[in-house]
Amino acid sequence: MSKINKLFDSELRVINLGLESFSEELKLQKTEVVHVEWRPVAGGNKKLGNILNQLG
């Protein structure tokens, strides 16, 4: 069996980043899912993100 066939023959397990409603839908379908509440640094503001990066 090829690697791709093994992949699609295995049980789906998901790590969800960001949108929690997506993980909730997967749970309703009995899919194993871990939700990570992630947001871009400084709300996606590059200038502020660079300043914060220099502080740490």
Domains of the chain: 3-55 (3.40.50.720)
Residue 53 has pLDDT above 80, yes or no: yes
pLDDT (tens digit per residue) in 31-48: 999 999 988 899 999 999
Q: Give the pTM.
A: 0.60
The CA-CA-CA angle for residues 10, 12, 13, to 5°, reads 125
Q: pLDDT tier at 7 (50, 70, 90 boundaries)?
A: confident
Q: Which two tokens stand for residue 28?
A: 């309703």
Closest CA to 40 of 29, 32, 48: 48
Size of the chain in residues = 56
Residue 51 has pLDDT above 90, yes or no: yes
The Cα–Cα gap between 26 and 20 comes to 10
Q: Is the Cβ–Cβ distance between 21 and 37 less than 8 Å?
A: no
pLDDT (tens digit per residue) in 12-29: 899 999 899 999 999 999
**43 DSSP assignment:** G
